Amino acid sequence: MADGAADETVGSIAELYLGNILYAIELAALSLTEQGKADAAAYYRAIGRKLAEAHGRAKEPGVQEPGGRGSGSPEVP
């Protein structure tokens, strides 16, 4: 295993790439909207909203982030 790979969890990886995940969810929702699938788009937007709200709660003072990693989202070239 690569260095640090043993410490990685789904949560820590999702936290690290949350901005990218939210962007991809919104692209999927936009595509579904263009296809006339408003209910499916709303479903994916609700998932994105739930993830964003959970991240916001984790950022409140006194709440420790899981994994102890930063929340910076790497830029996609």
**The predicted structure's pLDDT at residue 8:** 92
- Stated pTM of the model: 0.68
Q: Which of 17, 30, 13, 11 is nearest to 76 (CA)?
A: 17
Q: Which of 63, 51, 60, 61 is nearest to 20 (CA)?
A: 51
The pLDDT confidence band at residue 7, using thresholds 50, 70 and 90, is: confident
Spell out the domain ranges in the chain: 12-60
What is the tens place of the pLDDT at every residue in 63-74?
A: 555 554 444 545
- Whether residue 61 has pLDDT greater than 90: no
**The predicted structure's pLDDT at residue 62:** 64
Give the Cα separation of 32 and 42 in Å (integer).
9
What is the tens place of the pLDDT at every residue in 13-43?
A: 999 999 999 999 999 999 999 999 999 999 9
Q: Which of 74, 47, 71, 51 is nearest to 59 (CA)?
A: 71
